[in-house]
Structure 1
Amino acid sequence: MGVDQVLGLLKVVHNMGGRVDAMFVNDAVDVDLGDLSHVIDAAEMLGLLKAGGGDVELTEEGRAAVEMPLREFQKYLKKKLPSVEPFSSLVKLVTSKERVELEELVSYLQGLGYDERGARRILNWAVFAQLVEIDDGEWVIPA
């Protein structure tokens, strides 16, 4: 899921009091019903949200993410993502080679089981979190 979808989910939950039935969230978040569970999973994986019993609830980190400036959220992700797969593997690959062709990296992520769309979203998260950069539109380099 995209960064904007996760942040959108966090903001909706925050605006609804910090804890809400997931069914009410679906109407307010710009994702299909089937994708909402993936957005919730992504937020939960990042420690920003807890889900259980049909409810979603912001964690302290999730509440802070909503209230902090975007740059601070990027710093949070820069600390958090390197310990989460597939970001850990992505950073190791790019760091070990110093630069990887964009399409090679997408193929690498596809080899880990992601479709092309998912692979590109993972790369977008890594760029947003300033783990890697895109150089000349065709190379992925360490940030």
Structure 2
Amino acid sequence: MAGFVELVAELERKEDIYKIAEDLNMDLADIQPVIEAAELLKFIDTTGGDISVTELGKVFAEADVLEKKEIFRKQLLANVPFIQQIVQVLQNKSNHRMPVEFFIELLETRFSTSEAQAQMEIAIDWGRYAELFAYDEDSKEVYLEEEVLETQKVVD
């Protein structure tokens, strides 16, 4: 998504979404999830089939890797309630760990099993990138790392 936001940030004006897809040699259906994610996080705006970068998107596009992660983290916590829920559950557990299946079951109240699993994979990828939580592939647990716990104590 970062690369896509950077691409849109380089445009001088609003651009037609279909033209961007064509320029990237991609179908709109292939880039639609990236567009939706970037819009959810307030990095881009889409209006009437046109796309443009927001001021925050410009800052994100120009940021270094650590700054990008910090901006991404703040936007996740501000705009993605499910990420907020994961972090809150992990903070409230004494060992700061939960089986991933717990979160998938929460998602299954609103989505099919396959969609819930796909949503959870995205949440894990985003949470890991933002350094909000980690995932242990062997134990199938989502957890807060010690460094994350210390950082969150300072922030709270």
Equivalent residue, structure 2, for 1:3? none
Larger deviation: 10-19 or 118-127? 10-19
Equivalent residue, structure 2, for 1:71? 66
Distance 1:21 1:46 in 2: 20
**TM-score normalised per structure 2:** 0.75
Distance 1:139 1:31 in 2: 35
Larger deviation: 128-137 or 83-92? 128-137
- Specify which structure has the bigger relative contact order, considering alpha-carbon pairs within 8 angstroms and separated by 6 or more residues: 1
Equivalent residue, structure 1, for 2:89? 93
Distance 1:136 1:53 in 2: 42
Which runs of no fewer than 5 residues in structure 2 stay unpaired? 149-156
Distance 1:118 1:91 in 2: 16
Larger deviation: 36-45 or 132-141? 132-141
Larger deviation: 14-23 or 87-96? 14-23
**TM-score normalised per structure 1:** 0.81
* Contact persistence 2:69–2:130 (CA under 8 A): yes
How many residues were matched structurally? Answer: 138
- Asked which structure has the greater CA Rg, the reply is 2
* Contact persistence 1:91–1:131 (CA under 8 A): yes
Equivalent residue, structure 1, for 2:21? 26
Which runs of no fewer than 5 residues in structure 1 stay unpaired? 1-5
Which residue, 16, 39, 42 being the options, matches 2:34? 39
